[in-house]
Amino acid sequence: MKKLLRYLKAYRKESIIAPLFKMLEASFELFVPLVVANIVDIGIINKDFGYIAKMGGLLILLGIIGLVCSLTAQYFSAKAAVGFGTALRSDLFAHINSLSYEEIDKTGTSTLITRMTNDINQMQSGVNLVLRLFLRSPFIVFGAMVMAFTINVKAALVFVVAIPLLAVVVFGITAASIPLYKKVQKQLDKVLLVTRENLTGVRVIRSVCRQEHEKETFEETNSTLMGLQVFVGRISAFLNPVTYIIVNAALIAIVWIGALQVDNGIITQGAVIALVNYMSQILVELIKLANLIINITKSLACANRINEVFDLEPSVKDMAKDGNTSFQMSSSKNMAAADTDEAVAFHQVSFAYGGSKEYSLENIEFSVKKGETIGIIGGTGSGKSTLVNLLPRFYDVQTGKVLINGRNVKEFSLTDLRQKFGIVPQRAVLFKGTIRENIRFGKEDATDEEIMKALETAQALDFVQKKKDGLDSFVEQGGSNLSGGQKQRLTIARALVANPEFLILDDSASALDFATDAALRKAIRQNTENCTVFLVSQRATTIKDADKILVLDDGQLAGCGTHKELLSSCDVYREICLSQLSKEEVETA
């Protein structure tokens, strides 16, 4: 929690003013029982209606001043809490964006969303309550006890016994609640995960008629969450009745002792009423304090979860940005190497995903010249996507090195490196907005002419022009109002509009028919001068005309060469071709 309190530094003034005004309100509140005591002992006994009216006016004045102080405190505490939440949410979002694929895969999208939303909202609410009540409630409790001593020491001893008992109950229940609230938040992550999977996979679920099964799964997960919440709620709810019992027992003791004191003429009837009022104030404040502590408990659990995300260090370090001297020296030595015609080279590259003992890629060795088109083919899970993800450093290799233009990819800043690439992932991702806005994700200042050229190359111009609003046609979230082929062509256009040095098409034409696929490859070859293209595909027809083909088999490089060379030298490639092409096409290649 201490790490996160730095977000309140910008709101120091508000964080001081809010508690001070709350304490000022509490100070005026402590005078109320004394005024009431004087009304009873002086005004009522002497039947002095003028005095009663004057003291009544004083009570109204104290109430108005208290209200003004309370509203002022509410304003400043809300301002500090909202500012705290906004700054924390911004930094957490920025930090999540700095993480590499490995950390995001390991943590999980659903729990990151929960921490970005629910957990931060819980902390924001906690900060608000702390600024308003953390000083006020203890001040009232101990202030009431001190004021009681000024009235009668013997009766005030009841406060001395009751307050420590109440403190033991409050903090004991809090200590028991903290680990349980952590479990509640983790279960909330699971509910969000099930919900997210159902919403993103709704078409699949309905196509196989699994709605009832998914409802049962959700009900089971949700019931577990409810069970945990009810259990921790019962423990927290135990706080109020126990505090009521202690406080009411103390009230009985005060009335009893006070009655004896009044009977003996030691204190007045008004003094007894004041003592009862002070104990009632303590009761009200302890209820507020109990709710505050429950909220703080939740906030602490959420703070720990948020800190867990902040503690994640990206495995892919931006060496150039971090000022790593060894890499800067290496970079300066290799500036001459940047003039090589070798665009990409893998030297004994091995890679394993986090936590895995087996390599997804092992001892990969090949080189690519500038302007070449490279086909990458292999069975499912052979490491095709993994290989191209190493080029823009979405992941870092365990052994070996990846070179771009003769320089180790680690010598580039991540921004400079990734600006060299136009990447079209396997899953076509579009954002809510217009077609123009989606294409400009690839280049912010792209002109309509550049966009049209990219759409033409991507074979998307025809269907865009047929739309009533053209480039201003609206795209729903995820491109749900477009077909699979239309989405893929728009994502290809988005990658092409920036005129990248390297273009990676990761099985991004799977939804296109063979004619459109062939036209797309021809247009890319004609319209992307000096662009090195990586075509990842399951189709032999897509990559057979590439300048060089890489054949992957279970993380190993099974073959490297042209289509004709591989048919005679690589059994794996020949088997793939025979499964997709006719025997005549293979033999006449």
Tell me the C-alpha distance between 498 and 501, whole Å: 9
Which residues pair with residue 551 across a beta bridge? Answer: 377, 559
What's the pLDDT tens digit per position in 103-154? Answer: 888 887 878 888 888 889 989 998 998 888 888 888 888 888 888 888 888 8
Say if residue 353's pLDDT is above 90.
no
Q: Are 185 and 305 in contact (CB under 8 A)?
A: yes
DSSP string of 94-107, one letter each residue? HHHHHS-HHHHHHH
Mean of per-residue pLDDT scores for the chain: 85
Where do runs of H (alpha helix) occur along 354-420? 384-390, 414-418
Other Cβ atoms less than 10 A from the Cβ of 227: the count is 12
What mean pLDDT do residues 288-305 have? 81
Show me where the domains of the chain are located: 4-310
Tokens of 463: 């269907």
Q: Are 497 and 446 in contact (CB under 8 A)?
A: yes
The more confident residue out of 210 and 469 is 469
**pLDDT of res. 494:** 92
The more confident residue out of 208 and 326 is 208
3-class secondary-structure state, position 366: strand
Say if residue 323's pLDDT is above 60.
no
Q: Are 19 and 131 in contact (CB under 8 A)?
A: yes
What mean pLDDT do residues 530-559 have? 90
Q: Say which DSSP state 41 is in.
A: I
What's the pLDDT tens digit per position in 482-530? Answer: 888 899 999 999 999 988 999 999 888 777 888 888 898 889 888 887 8
How many C-alpha atoms does 568 have within 13 Å on its Cβ side?
6
Residue 564, classified by CB atoms within 10 Å of its CB into exposed (0-12), middle (13-18) or buried (19+), is exposed
What's the pLDDT tens digit per position in 221-247? Answer: 889 989 888 888 887 777 778 877 887
Q: Provide, rounded to the nearest whole percent, the portion of the chain with pLDDT above 70.
A: 95
Q: Among candidates 391, 386, 481, which has minimal Cα distance to 431?
A: 481
Task: Please tell me the pTM assigned to this model.
Answer: 0.73
Q: Tokens 């591989």, residue?
A: 566
Tokens of 345: 């080279």
Give the pairing of strands 556-561 and 548-553: antiparallel
**pLDDT of res. 325:** 44
**Secondary structure tally for the chain: helices H, strands E:** 23, 12
What's the pLDDT tens digit per position in 34-60? Answer: 888 888 888 888 888 888 899 999 989
**pLDDT of res. 589:** 58
What's the pLDDT tens digit per position in 396-437? Answer: 898 999 999 989 998 888 888 989 999 998 888 899 999 999
**pLDDT of res. 1:** 62
pLDDT confidence of 327, banded at 50, 70, 90?
very low
**pLDDT of res. 345:** 93
Say if residue 333's pLDDT is above 60.
no
Element (H, E) at 518: helix 514-527
Options 1.20.1560.10, 1.10.12.10, 3.40.1190.20, 3.40.50.300; CATH for 4-310 is 1.20.1560.10
**pLDDT of res. 331:** 47
DSSP string of 418-483, one letter each residue? HTTEEEE-SS----SEEHHHHHTTS-TT--HHHHHHHHHHTT-HHHHHHSTTGGG-EE-GGGTTS-
Give CA separation, 147 vs 5, 37, 368, 427, in Å: 34, 13, 85, 70
Say if residue 336's pLDDT is above 60.
no
Q: Among candidates 26, 60, 64, 58, which has minimal Cα distance to 42?
A: 58
**pLDDT of res. 434:** 93
Q: Are 449 and 499 in contact (CB under 8 A)?
A: no
Tokens of 16: 């001081």
